[in-house]
Structure 1
Amino acid sequence: MSSDPFKNSEPSVHFIVPGPLETLTGGFIYDRYMVEGLKAAGRLGMVHELTGDFPRAAPYDVAAGAAVLSGLPDRVCCVIDGLALTALGQAVLQHAPRLDIVAMIHHPLADETSLSETEQAAFFEAEKVVLKEVARIVVSSRRTAERLTDFGVHPSSVYVVEPGIANWVRPGTSLDDGPIRILSVGTLTRRKGHDVALRALADCRDLDWRLDIVGDARDAAHASELTALVGELELDERVSFHGEVPEDELARMHATSGLFLSAAHHEGFGMALADAVAAGLPVLATHEGAASAVVCQAAHLVPAGEVSTLSEALRGLLQEPDARQKLAARSRAEAGGLSDWDSAAAAFQRAVDGGILQ
């Protein structure tokens, strides 16, 4: 029996995610920590892991998700990850009057890179409709909260709960001998800008560096394009695609890297950036991420999509050890301002309940 008589007095929360909760992407990692927090507080009803290619899921996968909502009892709280939310739009509209539905938005689907104008407009309208029907919205960054005003969402219904830093993060010391190891962590999708990073680094081929790219090939076609681009740029001996790696290996890579690089066109938050800052790495990233103020203060920021500007920044950092050391010092100085996952999970539960975030 719990020593706290109020431990289980709060209503249980169901969580709908668009795939296996153990998926190693920023959005799923965030969801997993929130689920673990709910479980620890005795408030987790059930995690419903949908199958299918959300947000473009097949009709039978959408029907399965709709059946989950149909099976929930009246007035129960249900959090729906944004990747599944619009696909389940009709079911959400049907059940919103009887359920307490909370949307978990990492970033709007309409902001995904390389969408056609037709796809972008379709996602925007679908999200605009469904977001007006949910009871509350949790977002992982202030930038995303601001963006949702374009969807007609009233700010009073939006709660910002920034991610924590990974449990494995420990400040490390990069190796001084040999080539400078550059670490980039992110799924192989167009939004992450790996192609921009590769072209910028190709302009620095006269310098001694190696690039380690960690992340699952979520977009198989784009992953193939990146592999072909590496060959085209004659960088085969310098660039390694590692796919998903275990936490201990990722920790080792942070500890032995001399620079963290992100060329993303857009980020819902940029958890990998926060982890790099917490690890004391010098960070070079783009303005387009929605990272916390702490990360923005620590990182050297450049415009997204500009190969020449990124190349110039890379050249300066690769040539000047002092410049990298100054950036690393900024990371160490700002790292203390990053949240931990326990605090994030507690804030998430207050947001789900519509409480005041501290």
Structure 2
Amino acid sequence: MSRSVIFAFPGHLDTKTGGYGYDRRVIEGLQGLGWDVALLALGEGFPFPSDETLRQAEASLSKLPDGAKVIIDGLAFGVLDRWAERESRRLRIVALVHHPLALETGNPAVVRQSFHDREKRALAHADHVIVTSQTTADTLTADYAVDADKIDVAVPGTDRASRSEPQNSVPLILSIGTLTRRKGHDVLVAALKRIESLSWQAVIVGSPAHDRQTAQSLETQISELGLSQRIRLAGEQAELDDFLQSADIFALASRYEGYGMVFAEALAHGLPIVACRAGAIPEVVPEEAGILVPVDDAEALAAALGSLLADEALRTTYADGAYEAGSRLPGWDVTAGIFNDRLRTLP
């Protein structure tokens, strides 16, 4: 049996997001299991590639030899429907879906519908689909006509971490996520304004490069609410451990998550979590680890944060629950093992 696989990805593999971090760890894991992994960059701009980028990506994939096994990141695969229809008979295609493209926040309805239709067509031509959560698996079965037997769930691995032991005189609220609409930082800032009378500081870690308009809007919101001295936008950071180790509370108001690797990292560090009941977040964050509120409900988010800030004993109880939950999360060896098992079964 061939132990060679191509891993095709859009953009730059070193991009500091959860999705790209997942790709890097899977590639590393497969290599450790004896696979010869060839990397294939598909170009920038996905899932909105230019016509020329899309043409070149399709051409690069079409050069693969008959019978080649190829894993294609869903950020690109979701708009490679025409290519998948042409080439699926001669290639062994594994689609990696972090979350369906249509569920990205902020796109007009016509764009969401187009993404849905194209990704549904593309997935119909994949030999197999790997997703990062059971929630996404259920969505693909219910809304994209993907047979459940065709799907494997490979949740992101989580590295073991020492428990956070903050020494802050003023409680520190940490949020980590790219400055995009889906991450809901605007809701978090609105919630923090509602509890301005309480003692807290906040830091938001995340790149502004993916959505400059949202990033600028967030800066303006913080300034206009008079919170510039209390909320720090830290930008993109290569290492997150120091931030996680020094925080008292982790808060992220995502409007949707296909998994939410950063929540798992917060659990591993024993941070009590305040988040929204959206996508796979309830699958990652158990009741004993934090408080989940409705999406886009700044009032409920403020109440949850306020309860943890006002009651140190409650904060400790949730922190204990978070650390225990984090200790049960699988490592990256388990994630890579699922890919390995699936690739071995492909003819």
**TM-score after normalising by structure 2:** 0.95
1:139 is matched with which residue: 108, 126, 131?
Answer: 131
**C-alpha displacement of 1:296:** 2.4
Matches within 5 A, 1:76-155: 76-149=68-141, 150-155=143-148
Contact 1:50/1:65 (8 A) holds in 2: yes
Moved more, 63-72 or 39-48: 39-48
Give the equivalent residue in structure 1 for 2:186: 195
Partner Cα separation in structure 2 for residue 322 and residue 251 of structure 1: 24
**Aligned equivalent of 1:280:** 270
Q: Is the 8 A contact 2:154 2:335 kept in 1?
A: yes
Partner Cα separation in structure 1 for residue 137 and residue 10 of structure 2: 22
* Structure 2 match to 1:259: 249
Q: Which moved more, 1:117-126 or 1:9-18?
A: 9-18
**Conservation of the 8 A alpha-carbon contact between 1:15 and 1:46:** yes
* CA distance 1:294–1:134, change in 2 (3 Å): closer
How many Å separate the matches in 1 of 2:48 and 2:228? 34
**Is 1:28 aligned to residue 16 of structure 2?**
no
- Partners of 1:125 and 1:180 in 2: how far apart? 46
Q: Quote how far apart the aligned CAs of 1:244 are.
A: 1.6
Aligned to 2:299: 308
In 2: Cα distance, 1:289 partner to 1:332 partner: 22
- For 1:134 and 1:165, how far apart are their aligned partners in 2? 28
* Deviation of 1:292 (Å): 6.9
Instruction: Please name the residue that 1:38 is paired with.
Output: 30
Over residues 87-137 of structure 1, what are the superposed CA-to-partner deviations in whole Å (9 max), with x where a residue is unaligned?
222112111110000100000001111221111111111111111111000
Q: Distance in 2 between matches of 1:352 and 1:206?
A: 55
Q: How big is the shift at 1:285?
A: 1.2
Measured in 2, the distance between the counterparts of 1:104 and 1:326 equals: 37
* Pairing partner for 1:170 from 145, 150, 162: 162
The answer to whether the 8 A contact 1:11-1:76 is kept is no
Other-structure match for 1:65:
57
Deviation of 1:352 after TM superposition, in Å, equals 3.4
Q: Give the unaligned 5+ runs of structure 2.
A: none
**Percent of aligned pairs with the same amino acid:** 36
| Alignment check: 8 A CA contact 2:10 2:42 kept | yes
Which of 204, 209, 214 lines up with 1:213 in the alignment? 204
Shift in Å, 1:294:
5.2
Residues 141, 291 of structure 1: 8 Å contact kept: no
| Stretches of structure 1 lacking an aligned partner (at least 5 in a row) | 1-8
Q: Give the distance between the partners of 1:215 and 1:118, measured in 2 at CA.
A: 28
Report Cα offsets for 1:236-265 as digits up to 9, x if no partner: 001111122122xx2111111000001001
Work out which of the residue numbers 173, 182, 185 in structure 1 matches 2:173.
Answer: 182
2:339 is aligned with 1:329: no
Decide whether the 8 Å contact of 2:42 with 2:60 is kept in 1.
no
SS across alignment from 1:23 = coil
Query: Displacement of 1:32 after TM fit?
Result: 0.5
| Paired residues of 1:136 and 1:354 also in contact (CA < 8 A) | no
Worse-superposed segment, 129-138 or 280-289: 280-289
How many residues matched? 343
Counterpart CA distance in 1 for 2:85 and 2:226 is 52
Separation in 1, partners of 2:131, 2:331: 16
Alpha-carbon distance between aligned partners in 2 of 1:241 and 1:335, rounded to the nearest angstrom: 27
Q: Is the 8 A contact 2:6 2:39 kept in 1?
A: yes
CA contact (8 A) 1:70 1:95 kept: yes
CA contact (8 A) 2:179 2:207 kept: yes
Following TM superposition, where does structure 1 have runs of at least 4 consecutive aligned residues deviating by more than 3 angstroms? 291-294, 352-355
Match of 2:47, SS state, is coil
What is the alpha-carbon root mean square deviation over aligned residues?
1.4
CA distance in 2 between counterparts of 1:34 and 1:327 reads 31
